[in-house]
Amino acid sequence: MDLKLYKSVLQKLISLPEEYLPQVNDFLSSLGRKHSQKEKNRASILALAGSWNDMLEEDFEEYLTHTKKTGDDLFGREVEL
């Protein structure tokens, strides 16, 4: 932890008028929630990414081929308006 930065933030908090403290508290709480949500998202993404590790190489290649073909079938056609 950067001790100078921590002291600077505390000094600014001390100098704030008391009526602003609820807003500061709400803001700090929202930062904590955002950080927590990012960590949950990161864990979910890593869990999904790890699921590919158990797949055989040939199965994975077949999956990729099928996915590309399906995408081409859905989005590779011209649409007349």
Task: Give the integer Cα–Cα distance in Å for 81 and 45.
Answer: 39
27 phi and psi angles, rounded to 5 deg: -65, -45
State residue 72's pLDDT score: 81
pTM of the model: 0.44
State residue 64's pLDDT score: 83
Task: Give the integer Cα–Cα distance in Å for 35 and 31.
Answer: 6
Q: What is the pLDDT along the chain (81 residues), one digit of tens a residue?
A: 789 999 999 999 999 999 999 999 999 898 888 878 888 887 777 777 777 667 787 887 888 899 888 888 777 766 666
Q: What is the DSSP string of 7-29?
A: HHHHHHHHHS-GGGHHHHHHHHH
State residue 1's pLDDT score: 73
